Amino acid sequence: MLKVYSASWCPHCTRTETYLKEKSIPFESIDIETAPKEVVDKVAEINGGQWVVPTLEFNGTWRKGKVFNEATLEADLKKMGAQ
């Protein structure tokens, strides 16, 4: 299942999750503010040492955090095999 590492204050996370719901793509939302330290550390590692959200993971394939752009998100999901 697709995992979306997000934060409640992040508008790009909200838009990403709304897009996924509209496209009926199942996902698990993980709030990095309440996630275990090892999860937060992994998100930071993927993003060059920074907390960047939304960061996505699907079956071990990661997508660095990016601002919401529907076309880019759709292309990235296809590359990851999540769509």
Give the CATH number for residue 51: 3.40.30.10
Show the DSSP H helices in 1-83 as ranges.
11-22, 37-46, 70-80
pTM for this structure? 0.94
Nearest Cα to Cα of residue 58 among 39, 74, 82: 82
Neighbours of 35 (CB within 10 A): 16
What does the pLDDT look like over 19-64, one tens digit per residue?
A: 999 999 999 999 999 999 999 999 999 999 998 999 999 999 999 9
- Domain count across the chain: 1
Per-residue confidence at 69, pLDDT binned at 50, 70, 90?
very high
Domain extent, residue 51, equals 2-80
